[in-house]
Amino acid sequence: MLASMLTMTNELAMNRISTADKLVPTNEAVEATRSSAASGTQADTLEVRVLRHAITQEREFVLDVEFRAEPGFTILFGPSGAGKTTLLDCIAGLVAPDAGRIAISGRALFDADRHLNLAPSVRRIGYVFQDLALFPHLTVEQNVQYGLAHLSGKDRRHRTAAMLESFRIPSLARRYPKEISGGERQRVALARTLVTDPAALLLDEPMAALDAATKAKIFDDSRAWNAAHGIPILYVTHNREEVFALGERAIVLDRGRILAQGTPHEVLGAPSQETVAQLAGFENIFDATVESRHADKGTMTCRLVPSRSDPGYPVQLETPLVRAEVGAALRVGVRAGDILLAVERPSGLSARNVMRGRLTALEEHDVIVSARVDCGVEMEVHLTLAARDTLQLQPGQEVWLVIKTHSCHLMQC
């Protein structure tokens, strides 16, 4: 019998499996899955259509999603409580949806209409949990070999050695998890899951605690491994930088629904919805009205709704030209890091938006300073510590903000 292709990394995960199957798989379906797995057939596409209701003491939650994940990295991005982990659990077989269908290259893992719900052990789904939960009493080599009990000792050693080499950790083979770093534990967890040759891989924020440099190296190794294997990988993150660094496709989830999907740039670089813009890191989002269009210049002028009753002057931004008539209501988003701040009125700039305002607050967050400026609307601006000190910024000071036209992103109301 084929050993479990799902990496169960701790007793909690095993308990979750024992209560997952509300529907019983047919013998025919199980045998078909085993035959497919034994043949080494690789997955082409992960198809997911899931409806699941959950009621807790705090709220009623409905997960209702449908998408396709091709080979490569698909990022699941969204706030806490959006349903990302629940979705992964449904795909892995740890939680049974109320309705829908889950399949890999047409091979059904779950189909409510057919009363089909394959056990996690025959789904060929790799799952790396956020806490990794390596077996502390096993060496790195023994951890990686854990899912290969069905192979001969020679084959286990050969496959394990190749996987340790792929993730650059052969020197750690005899060490225990407590003796290695966080980044090394992450590599071991990935190796332990991928050594079983899964048809798809689920990653639930496994790198949340790692520094950027360590993440980058692991991302490179993960991409190299998948270039040779070509399986769908769903990667859950809250981190916008990770979406752009790793993802070929991004899906934004919020409150159990898909808000947007596409390339990272399409979804987060120029979001069309305010909720997505907030998730993508647009700190400044304003109501606006199209005041004039300049088709020959590829721009238009938008009047922002002021945050105080009488700013004394119109609060305007020149934005890229979109299909919106004069008088149309829009939302304008600007990232705090895309705004320049000056203590004297700048001149001779290509940037079209220069706004006078008053500095109302300065807050230091690690190596970033958040400045709040009242320009008739309140703008948040991000500065370095060096910039704050060089400009000698103080609350109450008159300042000028500079915003490039293409830093203004227009969204639907």
- pLDDT tens for each residue of the chain, 413 residues long: 333 333 443 333 433 433 333 333 344 444 444 444 444 444 479 999 999 998 876 778 999 999 999 999 999 988 888 899 999 999 999 999 999 999 998 999 999 999 999 999 999 999 998 877 789 999 999 999 988 988 888 899 999 999 999 899 999 999 999 999 988 999 999 999 999 999 999 999 877 778 777 888 888 888 888 888 899 999 998 777 777 777 689 998 988 999 888 888 777 766 666 667 767 778 898 889 999 999 999 999 999 988 655 556 678 999 999 888 999 998 888 989 999 999 999 988 888 899 999 999 999 987 899 999 999 899 999 999 999 999 999 999 999 999 999 999 887 76
The number of helices, as runs of H, and strands, as runs of E, in the chain is 11, 21
Residue 41 neighbours by CB distance under 10 Å: 14
User: Residue with structure tokens 């070999």?
Assistant: 145
Give the neighbor-by-neighbor strand order of the sheet with 368-374.
339-342, 398-403, 353-365, 368-374, 378-384
**Which pTM was predicted?**
0.69
The packing angle between helices 182-194 and 212-229, to 10°, is 10
Collect all residues with Cβ–Cβ distance below 8 Å to 305 and sequence separation of at least 6.
Answer: 286, 287, 288, 289, 377
CA angle 334, 337, 340 (to 5 degrees): 90
At 27 the pLDDT is: 41
At 34 the pLDDT is: 42
Residue 292 neighbours by CB distance under 10 Å: 12
Which strand (E) or helix (H) includes residue 279? helix 274-279
Cβ burial 343-375 (10 Å sphere, 16+ → b, else e): eeeeeeeebbbebebebeebeeeeeebebbbbb
At 38 the pLDDT is: 40
User: How far, in Å, are 161, 347, 359, 363, 383 from residue 390 at the CA level?
Assistant: 54, 20, 16, 16, 11
Residue type at 161 in one-letter notation: A
Which strand (E) or helix (H) includes residue 361? strand 353-365
Contact 392, 360 (CB under 8 A): no
At 164 the pLDDT is: 93
At 153 the pLDDT is: 87
How many C-alpha atoms does 325 have within 13 Å on its Cβ side?
Answer: 1
Residues 286 and 410: their CA atoms lie apart, in Å, by 10
3-state secondary structure of 138: coil
CA angle 265, 266, 271 (to 5 degrees): 105
CA angle 27, 94, 240 (to 5 degrees): 135
Residue 378 neighbours by CB distance under 10 Å: 16
Residues 318 and 291: their CA atoms lie apart, in Å, by 10
Contact 70, 232 (CB under 8 A): yes
Residues 57 and 332: their CA atoms lie apart, in Å, by 38
Residues 283 and 279: their CA atoms lie apart, in Å, by 9
Category of 199 on φ-ψ map: left (φ > 0), alpha (ψ -120 to 50) or beta: alpha
Q: Which domains does the chain have, with CATH numbers?
A: 11-278 (3.40.50.300), 282-405 (2.40.50.100)
User: How far, in Å, are 39, 250, 391 from residue 17 at the CA level?
Assistant: 26, 28, 58
